[in-house]
C-alpha cells in the first residue's frame, strides 16, 4: 500500500447543490483549503449533483458564488458527478461479480416498518436483511437499472481507522450500520459508491469533511477494500459551534452563507464567530 502522506497532497471540496451552502460546510471547506495550502497541495472542486430530484441548477450557481465570496478557490476545472455516470458502472459490476451486492425490493414503507431505530439524527436505520441472500451470491441481473442495490457488510465485524483530526475511530459493521444502498432504483449510484470512485479516480490523498460523516467513512472503507482501491487519509472536522459553543443545526436556513451575508456578515467575521 502506498503511504498517502508521501504523495503530493490533493484535497477536495465536495458540495451538493441541494440547497444553499450552510456556514458549517463553508467552514469545513475553509479548513480543507488551509490544510491543502499548508502542504502546497492542489484543491479540487467536485459538485455532487447525482441526486437529480434534489439538485437544482439555481443552487449550483449559488454554490459557486458563495464559495468564491467566502474566499475559497480551486486549482482545476470543477468536476460534476452528473457528467461521470458511466464511470460508476464498472464498480457496480465488480461488486456484483464478487457477490457483495444484492437487489433489494423492499419499499420505503417495508423498511420503515421493519427497521430498527435510527442511531443518530439523519443516520439511516439498520437494514433488517429482508432481501439479503444467505450466502455470497452473484446476482443474475447484468445491469443495475430499476432496482435498489445493497452492499453486504460483514456481520459483527470490528472496524478501525486512524482519523487525522479525531484520532482512532472504531465501529462494528452490522451493529453500528447495516447493509447500505450503493445504487438506487432511479438508476443513479448512491453517495457512498460515487464518493469512493471519485476520490480514487481524482487521486485525492486527504478527505476533509465534517464529523457527521464518520460512520459513512466506515462504509466507504469497506467499498475501498471490496474494489481493491487505496483509500485516502481522513480528517473529520468537529461540527461547527457558535461563539457560545452551541452546535448549529444543519438545516437552519438562517445559517446559510447567503442569509448571513445579506444580514451584513463578512467572511472574516463569520470565521471569527463560528468555529
Ligand atoms: N456532498 C457531501 C455533502 O455535501 C459531502 C460528502 C463528502 O465530503 O464526502 O454532504
pLDDT (tens, 9 = 90+) of the chain, 275 residues, equals 667 778 899 999 999 999 999 999 999 999 999 999 999 999 999 999 998 888 888 999 999 999 999 999 999 999 999 999 889 999 999 999 999 999 999 987 666 554 443 334 567 789 999 999 999 999 999 999 999 999 999 998 999 999 999 999 999 999 999 999 999 999 999 999 999 999 999 999 999 999 999 999 999 999 999 999 999 999 999 988 777 777 776 556 668 999 999 999 999 999 999 87
Contact 171, 213 (CB under 8 A): no
The alpha carbon of 238 and the centre of ligand 1 are apart by a number of angstroms equal to 15
Q: How many residues does the chain have?
A: 275
Of the candidates 138, 126, 120, the residue with the CA atom closest to the CA atom of residue 177: 126
Clarify whether 246 is annotated catalytic: no
Q: How many helices (H) and strands (E) does the chain have?
A: 8, 11
Of the candidates 26, 11, 55, the residue with the CA atom closest to the CA atom of residue 199: 11
Ligand 1 binding pocket, CB closer than 6 Å = 14-16, 48, 195, 209, 213
Query: Residue 174 has which C-alpha cell?
Result: 452490522
Instruction: Please spell the DSSP secondary structure of 17-44, one letter per residue.
Output: SSSSPBHHHHHHHHHHHHHHHHTT-EEE
Closest ligand 1 atom to Cα of 195: 9
Considering the candidates 4, 94, 185, 250, report the single residue annotated as catalytic.
250
Q: Which of 12, 13, 14, 189 is the pocket-test mutation for ligand 1 (most atoms within 8 Å of CB)?
A: 14
Neighbours of 61 (CB within 10 A): 11
Residue nearest to atom 6 of ligand 1 (CA): 14
Q: Which of 209, 211, 215 is the pocket-test mutation for ligand 1 (most atoms within 8 Å of CB)?
A: 209
In sequence order, what are the beta bridge partners of 141? none
Overall pTM > 0.75: yes
CA 124 – CA 115 distance, rounded (Å)? 10
Closest ligand 1 atom to Cα of 208: 8
- Structure confidence at residue 1 (pLDDT): 60
Amino acid at each position: 500500500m502506498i503511504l498517502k502522506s508521501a504523495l503530493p497532497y490533493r484535497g477536495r471540496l465536495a458540495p451538493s447543490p441541494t440547497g444553499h451552502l450552510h456556514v458549517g460546510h463553508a467552514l469545513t471547506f475553509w479548513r480543507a483549503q488551509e490544510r491543502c495550502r499548508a502542504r502546497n497541495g492542489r484543491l479540487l472542486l467536485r459538485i455532487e449533483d447525482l441526486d437529480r430530484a434534489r439538485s437544482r441548477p439555481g443552487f449550483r450557481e449559488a454554490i459557486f458564488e458563495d464559495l468564491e465570496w467566502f474566499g475559497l478557490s480551486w486549482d482545476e476545472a470543477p468536476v460534476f458527478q452528473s457528467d461521470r455516470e458511466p464511470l460508476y458502472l464498472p464498480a457496480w459490476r465488480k461488486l456484483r461479480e464478487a457477490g457483495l451486492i444484492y437487489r433489494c425490493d423492499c419499499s420505503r414503507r417495508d423498511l420503515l416498518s421493519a427497521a430498527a431505530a435510527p442511531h443518530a439524527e439523519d443516520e439511516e436505520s439498520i437494514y433488517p436483511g429482508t432481501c439479503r441472500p444467505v450466502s455470497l451470491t452473484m446476482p443474475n441481473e447484468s445491469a443495475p437499472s430499476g432496482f435498489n442495490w445493497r452492499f453486504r457488510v460483514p456481520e459483527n465485524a470490528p472496524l478501525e481507522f486512524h482519523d487525522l483530526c479525531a484520532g482512532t475511530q472504531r465501529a462494528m459493521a452490522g451493529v453500528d450500520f447495516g447493509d447500505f444502498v450503493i445504487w438506487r432504483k432511479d438508476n443513479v449510484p448512491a453517495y457512498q459508491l460515487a464518493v469512493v470512485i471519485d476520490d480514487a479516480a481524482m487521486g485525492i490523498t486527504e478527505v476533509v469533511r465534517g464529523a457527521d460523516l464518520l460512520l459513512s467513512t466506515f462504509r466507504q472503507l469497506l467499498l475501498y477494500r471490496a474494489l481493491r482501491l487505496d483509500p485516502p487519509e481522513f480528517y473529520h472536522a468537529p461540527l461547527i459551534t457558535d461563539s457560545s459553543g452551541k452546535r448549529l443545526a444543519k438545516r437552519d436556513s438562517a445559517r446559510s452563507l447567503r442569509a448571513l451575508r445579506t444580514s451584513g456578515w463578512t467572511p472574516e467575521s463569520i470565521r471569527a464567530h463560528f468555529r
